[in-house]
Chains A and B, each alone.
Chain A
Amino acid sequence: MTKIRTVIVDDEPLARDKLRGFLVRHPACALVGEAGDGLAAVTLLEELRPDLVFLDIQMPELDGFEVLSALEGQSLPYVIFVTAFNDYAVKAFEVGAVDYLLKPVAPDRFDQALERAEARLGQGADPEFTRRMARVLEQIAPARPRVERFLVKERGRSSFVAVAEVDWIEAAGNYLKLHARSGTHLVRTTMKEIEARLDPARFARIHRTAIVNLDRVRYLEPSSHGDQLVVLQSGEKLTLSRRFRHRLPRTIAEE
């Protein structure tokens, strides 16, 4: 019988020690890797494609949710969230996580979560996971920390784009297209989620499919259909729909 290939992700060494100690008592599991921050976790999970991950929610670089959103659909492992405080834990469960463990993790709860994972493992991939994940991320977005940078992946390499680098953000199917000084980058998230997690003093939604960095707005000009155009410093022109007009700060809107 093949073993359950498991990864532990937590930023505190002692927290990893503990989970590792519990895990080695289960012969059905094989610990294949550990990561101490979110970014390392994304690389590790894509490389190893494990069956199961114990994922801490609060971590440096990327939090547990951001790690999952960064993963490609087919490489998603089963997830057991591990968190110190049940602030998002219930929501995390709705994502379709196998279980969630609260710290300090008790051995019996650990075993129980592992049993659940084993039961689920036979069922194969969860096709709804990605969609459910997006919906939950939208719901908890206002309670989560502000986005300061985006994780972008190009040709297998991960890097960060600071929000200040971004001119505007365009909706593109299941992705967002970041128009930045360094070029355009795709990020997997939704307009609704990202709008709630950007500083409203610096970014404004101007259209169903566009969020603009207010620092980059040069002026507004009237367009043919009674709508207006937002002209960026780069020369790009974006449509300002009437529905979102009130979201622009007065200083810009009245010019």
Chain B
Amino acid sequence: MDPLVTVTMARHSRGPHIPIMSPRRRWPIALVILIVFTTVGVTRFAHFWLDDLARGRTTTAGPRFIEEMTGAYAGALVFALLMGLVNRWPLERHNWARRLGGYTAVVIALSLMHTSLMWASRVLLFPLAGLGAYDYGLMRYRFPMEFALQAPNIVLIVAGLHAWQFYRQARQRELRAAQLEGELNRAQLGSLEAQLQPHFLFNTLNAISSLMYSDPARADRMMGRLSDLLRLTFQRAPRAEVPLAGELEWLGWYLEIMQVRFGDRLTVRQAIAPDTTALAVPRLVLQPLVENALTHGAAKHAGPATVTIAARRDGDRLRVTVTDDGPGIDGDPAQALTSGVGLSNTAARLKALYGDAGQIALANLPAGGLVVTLDLPARPA
């Protein structure tokens, strides 16, 4: 698999923790819970009171109302606690067995709490409402009696909250996958842009079409090189890093084309230390640097131009330089990285791949010319 993908996927494979509610939405959700449980309380009150009326009991409105509303609001509190619980300690594939015991205890504890709350609030509210002392009956029967009703409800709520959380996580994963794909495509495009410069493509085709009249064999060879380069750019899911030797091979194809196009004007020198060829470099990293050396060095002035590509190992660092003998950069070379001579893209790729461990530096040479240095971690590809 493509290393770039692996790195990014590893960070997100379990998915970031997705809470049932974001802190920003806490108050709206509390309001919704309040409204829902108020509605439950009122409808239950209506149900029981109408039942009483149907049976000819006309004095039960007050006690029924207090009973149902205390039951509903205590339920709301239980629901809110369950939300927090599922949010904090969700049951997941890898931990459900361990957490099942805890959840069983929670069901019992919340049921006891619910019943106790109803009891306490009614004992308090009945006298205040002028209904006299409240009698909940024998508590040793009350608790199990309420438990029989509450336990299935609590289990259903826990299941429902989990379903909601899974739904949100799945949606988030989809979104993240779409974003990742976008990032990948952009990274891919970024590395190809330099290769598929329309000027490069059409000037090369023009040179080939010219050779067809004078030197068909050479035209054929150049067509082969151009095809090799184009094939690179069409590669699907390319590796982010390749051995320096591979990068130099591709670069050779590009330089062969440029040498045919520029004729005698262009000289290319290479000084590659043998212990560097197996080391990893970002894919297609050299071509934009050489192209920059050509367009800002050789192509800017008439007359001969030399581009030198060198690589050496310094302990755990790999240093690759591309040097031209053009006029160098007018002004501060470091600024050229941000203001863009086509190298800002390279800087961005290094940052994405290596963080601060990969650097690109530009410097004018005292005798004229520009040297671009890649400073990378020396590690096998």
Interface residues of A (CB under 8 A from B): 11-15, 17-18, 21, 36-37, 39-40, 58, 60-61, 84-85, 102-105, 148, 162-164, 199, 202
Contacts and interface: CB of A to CB of B under 8 A. Distances in A.
A93 B330 CA distance: 32
Contacts of A103: 202-203, 205-206
Q: Which of A40, A102, A104 has the most chain B CB atoms inside 10 A of its CB?
A: A104
B202 A84 contact: yes
A164 B206 contact: no
8 contacts: A14-B206, A15-B210, A39-B302, A58-B299, A60-B300, A103-B202, A105-B209, A162-B330
Given A17-B213, A105-B209, 8 more contacts: A14-B211, A15-B206, A18-B209, A39-B302, A58-B199, A60-B298, A85-B198, A104-B208
Nearest to B203: A84
B262 interface: yes
A202 B330 CA distance: 11
A104 B206 CA distance: 4
Contacts, number: 73
Main secondary structure, interface of A, reads loop
B336 to A, nearest CB: 11
A119 to B, nearest CB: 26
Interface of B: 198-199, 201-203, 205-211, 213-214, 260-263, 298-302, 327, 330-331
Contact of A105 (B198, B206, B263): B206
Nearest to B264: A13
Nearest to A103: B206
B209 A104 contact: yes
B203 A60 contact: no
B207 A15 contact: yes
B199 A85 contact: yes
Contacts of A199: 331
A84 B210 contact: no
Given A85-B199, A104-B205, A163-B330, A14 B299 contact: no
A17 B214 contact: yes
Contacts of A162: 330
B340 to A, nearest CB: 12
B199 A18 contact: no
B302 A14 contact: no
A12 B199 CA distance: 13
A202 B331 contact: yes
A50 B301 CA distance: 25
Contacts of B300: 60-61
Nearest to A202: B331
